[in-house]
Amino acid sequence: MSPTTATSERTASPAVLLDGARAALARQRVAEVEVLLAVADWADAHTEDGVVADQYGPFGLLRGDAHLLPGADVFGELGGPGAPLVSEFCVVEIAAALGLSTDSGRRLLGDAVELRHRLPRLWNRVTAGVLPVWRARKIAQETTQLTVEGADFVDRHLAPVAHKTGMVTAQKLVAEAIARFDPEKAELDRADSDATRRFDIDLQGQIDPARGVVPVSGTLDLADALDLENAVSRVAADLALAGSLDSLDARRSSAVGEIARRQTTLDLSGCDNADAVRTTTGEASKQTGSDTAPAATRSKARQVVLHVHLAEAALTDLDPNACGGVDLARVEETRSFVLAEQVREWCRSSLMHVVVKPVIDLRDQVAVDAYEIPDRIADRVRLTRPTCVFPHCTRPARGCDLDHVDEYVPPDPHHPGGGGPPGQTSTANLAPLCRRHHRVKTHPSLSGTGPERRWRYRRLPDGSFVWTSPHDQQYLVDPHGTIALPA
């Protein structure tokens, strides 16, 4: 668009602006349909003839000897009963091509498979441009639980009106389909009160990152809710008697934490460790528990571990103005920041025991000859790259495998060349990969153009990674994210 065109559009009449917005939306919806069609075609190209969901359970093996190859590609369910099973590894590649995480890509493929193969009338409305893709996907996510007959019932009744009705109508039809065509499931859902109960602590959705405050929500059994209400009210009142000047709401919030730390009546985990907070000064870590707490409390309380990274000045109580005006600590579990003072408050608790670990200098390059990875190397790698290094993946490194970027070659004293070189297990040759992406790097996919037909990657001198897919698509992954490289 030229500057002249942009200027004229800004001075256009309101009616022209509205027409332009509607035309742009129409073009966007056409593009969304094209993407959905391409995704559905990709899924169909990676299915196995005659194998559908529920025929062989949740997963069908990709090949007859797949059970001998742990981690190999398998056909998995993406849609409901009767939908074809789709290669798991193909999900990874299409997700990367679309700039999505593997989980998001799996949801997109699942919606496309459900619509094309189990909701054909709705699918036709989508491809005709009548039903928006986003609305069709929401319906598909509701129907995967239905039998073949139930899905057909919803498809038949909803297709003519889906473009102008809300999700409440779709959910009512799904509930009716379950009652009509799967009465056993309907009765189980009715009788199983646990199906509606949950308790969520959203560590990724902090509403006040500087103070480390997170939202909590849930649905409890009435008796449990009454017991919790009584306990929270009682502890909140105790905090006021102990001198707390906080508001009632703040004391009730603190009371939940006090109840969690004091619970000693039921030990389901058999854990003998006290509550813990692990912090890092620069790269040093602290674990907090309590030597002064009662023995019963120390032996019964659950272990809570946080990995917190701080500047040295934050722990030595130096003037915060010397560090830019405020001391912040990064918490790995929430992938965000809290104030250093919040860490001090956690550590002041009477139920805490502090263990200081040595400072880790990430500039050190450490290597060993063995294949096994010692803790001193693993810690450095995970601190340097705190997430999986696969394109668009954000899984924390502490839950990932550590992979040799250049394949490890065992030393062989009987080989003329002596086998692999020394120091192959090093901070420069290891990268965190979550288990799923470690598998796609190790095993071939169903299709591909390269001789290996699997994902490959190499590390660049600046610490970033270049990944190549089975179809030779390339991606650059650095600490800030992922970008697709031109072909």
Express each pLDDT in 92-148 by its tens digit.
999 999 999 999 999 999 999 999 999 999 999 999 999 999 999 999 999 999 999
Render pLDDT for 262-277 as a digit per residue (tens, 0 to 9): 765 445 444 444 344 4
Looking at the structure, tell me whether residues 372 and 355 fall in a common domain. Answer: no
* Domain-located, residue 8: no
Looking at the structure, tell me whether residues 150 and 36 fall in a common domain. Answer: yes
Looking at the structure, tell me whether residues 181 and 299 fall in a common domain. Answer: no
Residue that is last in its domain, among 168, 193, 218: 193
Whether residue 301 has pLDDT greater than 60: no
- With beta carbons less than 8 A apart as the criterion, state whether 102 and 110 touch: no
Integer angstrom CA distances of residue 71 from 143, 253, 324, 413, 480: 30, 44, 48, 31, 29
Residue that is last in its domain, among 212, 238, 263: 263
pTM: 0.71
Integer angstrom CA distances of residue 398 from 206, 209, 332: 21, 22, 9
**Residue 219: DSSP 8-state:** E
Measure the N-to-C terminal CA separation of the chain; round to a whole number of Å: 26
Q: Which of 166-180, 252-266, 333-347, 431-445 has the highest mean pLDDT?
A: 431-445
Q: What is the pLDDT of residue 270?
A: 47
Helix, strand, coil abundance in the chain, percent, nearest 5: 45, 15, 40
Could you give the number of structural domains in the chain?
4
Joined together, the tokens standing for residue 46 give 């990676």
* Domain-located, residue 1: no
Looking at the structure, tell me whether residues 326 and 466 fall in a common domain. Answer: no
Q: What is the pLDDT of residue 271?
A: 45
Looking at the structure, tell me whether residues 401 and 461 fall in a common domain. Answer: yes
Q: What is the pLDDT of residue 144?
A: 93
Least confident of 194-203, 369-378, 467-476: 194-203
Whether residue 326 has pLDDT greater than 60: no
Whether residue 453 has pLDDT greater than 80: yes
Share of residues in the chain with pLDDT > 70 (%): 72
Q: Which of 125-134, 204-213, 365-374 has the highest mean pLDDT?
A: 125-134
* Domain-located, residue 5: no
Alpha helices in 354-434 (DSSP H): 375-384
User: In the predicted model, what is the mean pLDDT of the chain?
Assistant: 80
Helix pair 148-158, 120-127: axis angle to 10 deg: 40
Integer angstrom CA distances of residue 274 from 179, 280, 355, 363: 49, 19, 12, 33
Task: Label residue 103 exposed, middle or buried (CB < 10 Å: 0-12, 13-18, 19+).
Answer: middle
Looking at the structure, tell me whether residues 168 and 253 fall in a common domain. Answer: no
Domain that holds residue 96: 14-193
- With beta carbons less than 8 A apart as the criterion, state whether 183 and 170 touch: no
* Domain-located, residue 4: no
Looking at the structure, tell me whether residues 233 and 344 fall in a common domain. Answer: no
* Domain-located, residue 6: no
Integer angstrom CA distances of residue 53 from 8, 49, 80, 117, 184: 55, 12, 7, 11, 20
CA 40 remoteness from chain centre: 24
Residue that is last in its domain, among 334, 359, 384: 359
Looking at the structure, tell me whether residues 181 and 238 fall in a common domain. Answer: no
